[in-house]
Amino acid sequence: MNLHAEMERTRDTLIVRLSGELDHHTADDVRMRMDEELGRAGCRHLVLSLKSLQFMDSSGLGVILGRYKLIKQRGGRMVLCDVNPSVYRLFDMSGLFKIMSIFENEEVALSDLEVAL
């Protein structure tokens, strides 16, 4: 299975909706696409929606952790939303929930980012 990444900008926030499989076959491509979009002027925060992400391996975790560090260096925040149970378990076991907030859906995640500003 492939990975589809839909990206949308809302003010200074990039929303990335991933569907499919984020693994060693797709990690480099999605990393480059996200970095390109994040490199555009004024993009400070990142919302990662994982509702349709069916599988993720350690390569995918690496992509997410790398984007987290990039956003953090810019003084922004990265949040997760709509995480399905199998991917949630991987995040929980990896300890990423200790550094990233998780929200029920995009609306709640965006609202939290607005309040934080």
Give pLDDT tens digits for 72-109.
Answer: 999 999 999 999 898 999 999 999 889 999 999 999 99
What 3 state SS string does the chain have? Answer: CCEEEEEEEECCEEEEEEEEEECCCCHHHHHHHHHHHHCCCCCCEEEEEEEEEEEECHHHHHHHHHHHHHHHHCCCCEEEECCCHHHHHHHHHHCHHHCCEEECCHHHHHHHHHHHC
**Residue 96, domain CATH:** 3.30.750.24
- How many structural domains comprise the chain? 1
Cβ atoms of residues 30 and 48 within 8 Å: no
Give me the domain span that covers residue 64.
Answer: 3-116
pLDDT averaged over the chain?
Answer: 92
User: Is the per-residue pLDDT at 117 higher than 70?
Assistant: no
pLDDT band at 32 (very low <50, low <70, confident <90, very high): very high
